[in-house]
Amino acid sequence: MTPDALAKRTLSIARSQRQSDQGFVWVKGDLIGKGTFGRVYLALNATTGDLMAVKQVKIPDSANGSNQELKQAMQSHYSEVETMKDLDHVNIVQYLGYEVKRNVANLFLEYVPGGAIGNLLRRHGRFEEPDIKWLSKQIMDGLSYLHRCGILHRDLKADNILLDLDGIVKISDFGISKRSGDIYANNAEMSMQGTIFWMAPEVINNVRNDERMGYSAKVDIWSVGCVILEVFAGRRPWSNDEAIGAMYKLGSSRQAPPIPDDTKEYISSVGKEFIGLCFTINPEKRPTADDLLKHPFCEVDSSYDFSKTKLAEYVRFNDRRREKKWNISKQTEESGSKS
């Protein structure tokens, strides 16, 4: 099956699931991810038999709650719902519905069985260049769509990019994303958001300097460069630096994360050029997602077959691990409806 056919099939399935989730009974399964304030569970739509992911955040008690961080997490959760509910692209995790029940907010999302690219890296190590080109094309397609919708993601990293069993990329986690009327105009109101090792220099400088210059959607392009470097190296960018060291090199020295010595031999000249373009220090000269989609690194060889790659084996292995953990109890059955 061609890449385009795979993408169309995947999107068709997700859309049909979304349309069927107007009202449903669901059953909560095992924990598959967690953050500071929220948890993600595997779930079953008992009405259709489809698997879903449900992202849960506990709503703070307005009468007694004084935890400002928890309130901010709840605001981030609401923001994610507002951002995702109108998105419709094969390389973006599909929004399926939302409900609040017993002081818990539930965000229902398309289940992506391969899991996060970050987890695959930690378990299996670096990826091969043909696979990285396959992923890069899809990441840029998804990012181009977001930017056309006026959305800055602001937290692109391997842990927020998922992969399904067919090798289709799904950009996830929109908790700190931001809408902008002009995504390429610097917005002085932008705060320091994201994860330091994947941040662009202008994000750091926006909080270091007294004069706030702001930043634009070009920060997402820098983060893509960090992700590409991450999958080539098998570890995060700035892997030899702590956060404070990376901040100094980004903000004061205006350096890009270096390609590790043990990684250079695995990257072609085309790949190095692509990464270098993403790491253009001046954001005004940094290319857009549409520009980078025209780069040779985003051209996938016609003979490439994801199903026959080692990466496909890793994804299937990860899915089998989850199947073994899958243990639904009827006692956890809950009803929900899309809002």
46-96: pLDDT as tens digits? 988 999 999 999 887 764 555 677 777 788 888 899 999 999 999 999 999
pTM for the model stands at 0.87
146-163: pLDDT as tens digits? 999 999 999 999 999 999
Catalytic residues: 155
Q: Is 55 assigned a ligand-binding role in the annotation? A: yes
Give the number of other CB atoms < 10 A from CB of residue 5. 10
Domains and CATH numbers, the chain: 16-110 (3.30.200.20), 117-312 (1.10.510.10)
256-313: pLDDT as tens digits? 999 999 999 999 999 999 999 999 999 999 999 999 999 999 999 999 999 999 999 9
- H/E/C letters for each residue in 1-64? CCHHHHHHHHHHHHHHHHHHCCEEEEEEEEEEEECCCEEEEEEEECCCCCEEEEEEEECCCCCC
Q: How far apart are CA 248 and CA 245, in angstroms?
A: 5
